[in-house]
Amino acid sequence: MASAERSGRRSDDKIRVKKNVRGGWWRHELMLRAMLCTLGTALSLYALHVEMNRGGDSAYRAWCDFAESVSCSRVFASSSRRDAAPAVRFKGQDTTWLDNLQMWGRGFGLVEPLLGKDSMLNQPNSIFALPFFTLQLLLGMTQSATAALALMVTAVVASAGCFYLAYLLLFVLHDLCLVCITSYIVTFALLTLDYRRLVHLHAHWQVQPPPPTKRQLRRVREKTE
């Protein structure tokens, strides 16, 4: 009798969690994930747009350029022409701010000193964000355990990269890039979603019936013979 009650309770819990995973929470999670990935992709594409326009026009001003220290194009235009930038004092030497940003705006500031300026991996930082947001959107459409783990791992790596870039932005470049900061917030929000997904799916997996024991399998074979 007690065994039947436990079995019935487990079955009810399984149905309840299954409805929770595939029901309202699942739909809301997909909608929020799609919005975040779309926003992140749009911000990354806009960063590339600013970089290309700044490279061809030194007078170009992005909508997020509010002051000398609050400028998006100042960060994104790392690959622009150096002769188009005004001279400034940096560490006691006359140079341009594009010279200072040349390394940090591409390859996370790590590819150029390690692999050289002409390396295929020495791309604008925003390029690396595009496959991340695409992966988060596509893998987010499945409830696969492997996909959930992949989402979490990529989100952790991306969040670590955001912390690194935020440090460079505030303490090395001394700039306040609103587009960059918004991208970091989007990445951290996706990390939160991925963690919540793991928690929900883990609860769903826990209420799954345990695998049959050898004794139970033997009884099934005896009944079928």
CA 95, CA 77: separation in Å to the nearest integer?
16
Q: Taking all residues of the chain, what is their mean pLDDT, rounded to a whole number? A: 75
> What is the third-level CATH fold of 24-224?
de novo design (two linked rop proteins) (1.20.1440)
Question: What global pTM score does this model have?
Answer: 0.69
CA 136, CA 130: separation in Å to the nearest integer?
10
pLDDT on residue 90: 38
Domain residues of the chain, as ranges?
24-224
Q: Evaluate if residue 140 carries a pLDDT over 90.
A: yes
How many Å separate Cα 188 from the centre of its chain? 7
CA 89, CA 91: separation in Å to the nearest integer?
7
pLDDT on residue 58: 64
Among 43-57, 142-156, 207-221, top mean pLDDT goes to: 142-156
pLDDT on residue 45: 92
Q: Evaluate if residue 130 carries a pLDDT over 80.
A: yes
Three-class SS of 98-133: HHHHCCCCEHHHCHHHHHCCCCCCCCEHHHHHHHHH
In tens, the pLDDT along 43-88 reads 999 988 887 777 666 667 777 777 777 777 777 664 433 333 344 3
Q: Evaluate if residue 15 carries a pLDDT over 50.
A: no
Token representation of residue 165: 């870039």
CA 153, CA 186: separation in Å to the nearest integer?
16
- State whether the Cα torsion 68-70-74-75 is positive or negative: positive
Which one, of 11, 20, 6, 15, lies nearest residue 201 by Cα?
Answer: 20
In tens, the pLDDT along 154-207 reads 999 999 999 998 888 888 778 888 888 999 999 999 999 999 998 888 776 665
Q: Evaluate if residue 26 carries a pLDDT over 90.
A: no
Q: Under a CB-based contact definition with an 8 Å cutoff, are residues 73 and 60 in contact?
A: yes
Structure-token match 């791992």, residue found: 153
Token representation of residue 19: 């409805």
In tens, the pLDDT along 94-125 reads 444 444 445 666 767 777 767 777 777 777 78
Helix extents (H) in the chain:
2-22, 24-56, 73-76, 97-101, 111-115, 125-139, 145-167, 178-206, 214-224
pLDDT on residue 191: 97
CA 36, CA 45: separation in Å to the nearest integer?
14
pLDDT on residue 65: 76
What type of residue sits at position 215? R
pLDDT on residue 4: 45
